[in-house]
Chains A and B, each alone.
Chain A
C-alpha cells in the first residue's frame, strides 16, 4: 500500500541529521535545541512509562493538546500513546481550535486529556463542565489548573521546563523530570537546567527564566529523582 511503499523508500535514505530542532525562550531570548534520534527514542520510552502509570493502555482514548512548535516536547507522548495502543487526537493550543478539544471529548470515549492549557480551557466555555465530567484524567499545564479546579476537576500537572516536559504521576507529588537526561537546580526560586544524559543539547546550569520549587527523594510511584512545581511561565 501507499504508506508501506513510501516508508520503504524512506527507510533506504540516510538520515544524517537529528530528529528535529525545538526552541524555548529564556528572558525573551531564543534558545534553539537539537533533539537527536537517540534522544527522541529515550524520551518516548520515558513518556510511555509515565502514560502507563496513568493507566493508558490499549484502547484508551487520548486528546493531546499541543501545537506544532511544541512537538519536541509532546511528540514522544504521542508516539508513546501509539506504542501503547491508545488512539489519540490532537487539540491545538489556539483559542480558535478549542472547539476541537471539546468535540473530541464529546464524541469519543476519552480517558485522558494531556497538555490542556489556559487558552483551550477558557475556549471550551460552557463546555468545560461537561468535558471535566466526561474525562477521568486531565493532565494540565499550570496556567489551566485553577480554572479546572474551579470546574470540578482534579488535574495532574505537566510543565514545559526549558527543553524538558515534566509530568506528574498519579501520586501528585510534583512533575517528574527524567533524571537520566536532565538535572534541575533551584536558587532563590529561580530554576536552571543541566544535561545529565548523552543528549545532543548540552547545557550546564543554564537559567530557564522560570520560578519553581524542586523535590527530591523517592516518589510513591517508585521513581527516584527530581520533581518540579513550576509557579509561572510554563
Chain B
C-alpha cells in the first residue's frame, strides 16, 4: 500500500453518483435521528413546519430543512441553559471528547464525538497527509494546537512518527533543532509561526532546515502573498487547509486547486449568504461565491445539520486533476468581514496586502478595530518588527500611506512591537477583526 497514490482509493475517487447515493442514504438516516434527539433541530424544524416524513430524498433535505446559525446555537444555549446549544443527541456521558470552536470571533461552541481508536475529526485527514507524501516510518513535526484534539492521530494513522515539540509562539528555535535531528517530511504552520520564522530566517539557512519537507500545512487564516513566496523560497510546498463548518478538515492536494472536502463525512453546500430560508434558490451555482453550509454525516453525538459557517467560499464538484472526485472549495473570507468606512468598502485582506509591502510590517500582523460593520474611522492596530525599525514616526507615515492607498481612507493607527501584538493571538492565529 505505501506505493498507492491514494490512502483510500475507492473512497477518494468514488464516482459522483455514488457519492450522492451515499450522502442520501446517510441523510435519510440522520433526519429522524436528529429530530428525535436534538432539541435545537426539533425547535428549528417545528418553526419551519418541517417533519422528518417530509424529507424523502437529498433534494428534499437541501430544499426544506432550515439552516442553523451560530447565533441559533448561542441563543438556545442561553435560553435552555444547555451547554451544547441543543445539539447533543446522546448523553454527555456517551461522548468520548468534548472540544470547542476556536472562539476567536466570539463565544466558542462545544462539539463532541464518540470514538474508539482514532479521533474522527482527524481520521479523514490521514487521506490528506498521504497525499502530501507522508508514509510509514517518516518523521513528522507533531506541531499545532490541541484544542481540536490529537492531531497527531492522523500522523500515526499513516504510520508516521510525530516529533512532539513546541511550535507555539517562541518555540520555533527548538522546533528547528528537532527538524535538524529528525528530518521530518511534514509539519503544520500558522500565521504566528511564520512571523517567528521570518525573524529566525535572518540567522538560519531555512532552505537547508526545510530540505527534508515534502510539504507543510497552513491553516487558520489566509496565507499572504509575501509569506507564500517566502515559504517557496525555502523550498516548502504549502498545503492550505481549513475546516468545513467544524465538521472536519478540507486540505489542498498536490494540484493546489481548492481544498478537498470529504463528502462521505460532510454534506457541503454553498448558499447565497443573504438567503435566510432554504429552497432551491438559496444555492449558488458551481464556482460562484457562497456561504459554506455543513451537515455532519459521521457524528452521532453533536451532528451539525445545515450549519451556516459564516465562511464565504467558491465551490466546485468538478473532479480534480489529481483524480479525486469529492467537492473542492476555495475559502474567500468570513461573512461580515466586509467593512464600510466613510462609504468605502474593503476586506481585511486589503490591509494585509498593504502591510506586506512595508518591510517593517511585512509579516502583516494587524487587527482591524471595528465595533460595527459600518464605521466612521478606520482604526488599525499594526505590529512592527523592532529589530528593523529605526523610526516609529517614519514608519507611521509609511504604513498610513500604504493603507490609505489600499482602502482609500486614512487610518487611525496604533503601532505596537510585534511581540506585544502576538500576545493577543489565540490558538495560533491573531483575530484580524476585533471590537476594541
Q: Residues of A at under 8 Å CB distance from B?
A: 1-3, 5-7, 9-10, 12-23, 30, 32, 58-59, 61, 66-72, 75, 78, 82, 85, 87-90, 92, 94, 96-97, 99-100, 103-104, 107-109
Contacts and interface: CB of A to CB of B under 8 A. Distances in A.
Given A3-B298, A87-B95, A90-B99, A68 B145 contact: yes
Interface stretch (B53-61, B119-127, B336-344): B119-127
A44 to B, nearest CB: 12
Contact of B152 (A12, A15, A20, A107): A20
> Which 9 pairs of residues, A with B, have the shortest CB-CB distance?
A59-B93, A107-B83, A10-B157, A17-B161, A2-B265, A3-B123, A3-B120, A6-B123, A16-B137
Nearest to B138: A17
A151 B120 CA distance: 38
Contacts of A67: 145-146, 166, 168
Contacts of B143: 68
Nearest to A82: B96
B126 A10 contact: yes
A13 B159 contact: yes
A218 B262 CA distance: 54
A234 to B, nearest CB: 16
Contacts of B177: 30
Contact of B174 (A14, A20, A30): A30
Contacts of B83: 107-108
Contacts of A66: 146
A12 B1 contact: yes
Contacts of B158: 10, 13
Nearest to A17: B161
Given A2-B124, A2-B264, A90-B147, A99 B103 contact: yes
Nearest to A37: B156
Given A30-B174, A90-B146, A92-B146, A6 B298 contact: no
B108 interface: yes
Nearest to B102: A100
Interface of B: 1-2, 7-8, 11, 83, 91-93, 95-100, 103, 108, 110, 112, 115, 117-118, 120, 123-124, 126-127, 136-137, 139, 142-147, 149-152, 156-168, 171, 174, 177-178, 181-182, 248, 262, 264-265, 297-298, 423-427
Given A7-B157, A85-B93, A100 B100 contact: yes
Contacts of B118: 3, 6-7, 10
B422 to A, nearest CB: 10
Contact of B151 (A13, A68, A87): A68
A16 B146 contact: no
18 contacts: A1-B264, A3-B124, A5-B8, A10-B156, A12-B1, A13-B157, A17-B159, A20-B152, A30-B177, A58-B93, A69-B142, A71-B146, A75-B150, A87-B96, A87-B97, A97-B426, A97-B427, A100-B100
B308 to A, nearest CB: 22
B112 A87 contact: yes
A68 B107 CA distance: 23
